[in-house]
């Protein structure tokens, strides 16, 4: 993935999270949980892209 696409994807995720936090009325606890989940997913995605985590295609959640 070229660097410019990576930066654009991060900006889009950041702007979307900012819009959700500012314009969608939610309880503060739900916002915190949403922010933490988004940050964890983005960090895992970045680690996968840079090869630190390896391929995420082999990851499975649950029994299958």
Q: What pLDDT shows up at residue 48? A: 86
Give the start-to-end residue ranges of the domains of the chain.
Answer: 3-50
Rama region for 60: left / alpha / beta (φ>0; ψ in -120 to 50; rest): beta
Q: What pLDDT shows up at residue 28? A: 93
Q: What pLDDT shows up at residue 50? A: 85
pTM assigned to the model? 0.77
Q: What pLDDT shows up at residue 2? A: 85
Low-confidence ranges of the chain (pLDDT < 70): 1, 54-61, 63-64
Do the beta carbons of residue 16 and residue 2 sit within 8 Å?
no
Q: What pLDDT shows up at residue 10? A: 96
């Amino acid at each position: 993935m070229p660097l410019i696409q990576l930066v654009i994807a991060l900006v889009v995720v950041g702007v979307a999270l900012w819009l959700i936090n500012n314009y969608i009325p939610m309880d503060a606890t739900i916002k915190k949980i949403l922010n933490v989940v988004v940050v964890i997913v983005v960090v895992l995605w970045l680690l996968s892209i840079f090869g630190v985590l390896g391929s995420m295609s082999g990851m499975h959640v649950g029994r299958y």
